[in-house]
Amino acid sequence: MVPPLVLDPQPGELVLDLCASPGSKTTQISQQMRNRGLVVANEPSLSRISALRANCERLGAVNVAITRYDGRRFPSMLFDRALVDVPCSGEGRARIDPGIWKRSSKRRSLDLQPLQAGLLSRAVDLTRPGGIIVYSTCTYAPEENEMVAEKVLDRSRLERISLPGLRSSPGLQDWEGRDLDGELERCARYYPHQNDTGGFFVAKLRKW
């Protein structure tokens, strides 16, 4: 999966996965770290923790510790890197669940935005200066993507994303007549027709 590749965690680091269940990205991060260091995998929902735990155990991820906090109020400490793969409207999954189009709307995206922005903001708080934060969704809605990333540009700067063999489009710089921060062009939008995948959005931020 792309967000852990962009996060690029290193063996021996302390890494936060703020919205971890069911654990596909958590276990990928664990593997990238060669089972060394520590991944703190946070999941607020008790009912989703069993799947997270089962996947970590099945894949032999012994460097994962699971917590159950509201990510917006995760206790203060400093991580080397943080992944914030937030709850989203899931428009990028429409190829496997066409019903998503009926459920998605601008209203729904705007309703999700405060939660997404709160999670990203807390992840920036929790990352050491110079550390990396990756924000990702599986939706196209700018209200859930660029307009969320834009809210932390006073505390971090966006870095360009380039993964060999994977085509992407730049982040939007304006939406519905409103100019967005020009730096948002460094975000990456992945559309299904580009790589024959689901659609998703990734922003890589480095904390000042």
Partner 1 sequence: MSPSCGNGEEVPIPSKRGEKGFRPLDKSQVASLWTERFGISEEAFQGYRFFAKAQSIWVCSDFPLPALRYESVGMRMMSLKDWPWKPTTSALQIFGRHAKKNVVHLSEAEARAFMAGSSLCLEADCQLGYVVVFYRGEVLGCGLYSRGKLVSQIPKDRRVESCQG
Task: Give the span between the Cα atoms of 75 and 68, in whole angstroms.
Answer: 11
Task: Give the span between the Cα atoms of 132 and 142, in whole angstroms.
Answer: 22
Task: Give the span between the Cα atoms of 165 and 147, in whole angstroms.
Answer: 27
Q: Residues 1, 10, 54, 105: which binds partner 1 (CB under 8 A)? A: 54
Task: Give the span between the Cα atoms of 114 and 93, in whole angstroms.
Answer: 22
68 lines the binding site for partner 1 (CB under 8 A): yes
- Active-site residue 138, yes or no? yes
One-character DSSP codes across 51-112:
HHHHHHHHTT-TTEEEE---GGGPPS--EEEEEEE-----GGGTTT-TTHHHH--HHHHHHH
Q: With contacts defined by CB under 8 A, name the span among 58-66, 151-159, 184-192, 194-202 that binds partner 1.
A: 58-66
1 lines the binding site for partner 1 (CB under 8 A): no
Cβ 29 vs Cβ 53: under 8 Å: no
119 lines the binding site for partner 1 (CB under 8 A): no
Q: Residues 67, 121, 173, 195: which binds partner 1 (CB under 8 A)? A: 67
Q: How many distinct helices (H) and strands (E) make up the chain?
A: 7, 11
Q: Rounded to the nearest whole angstrom, what is the least distance from the CB of residue 53 to partner 1 in the complex?
A: 5
Task: Give the span between the Cα atoms of 25 and 32, in whole angstroms.
Answer: 10
Q: Residues 6, 29, 64, 187: which binds partner 1 (CB under 8 A)? A: 64
73 lines the binding site for partner 1 (CB under 8 A): no
36 lines the binding site for partner 1 (CB under 8 A): yes
49 lines the binding site for partner 1 (CB under 8 A): yes
Nearer to partner 1, 63 or 139 (CB): 63
> What would the x/- binding string for partner 1 be over residues 75 to 104, using CB under 8 A?
x-x---------------------------
18 lines the binding site for partner 1 (CB under 8 A): no
Footprint on this chain of partner 1 (rule: CB under 8 A): 12, 14, 35-38, 40, 49, 53-54, 56-58, 60-69, 75, 77
What residues are annotated to the active site? 138
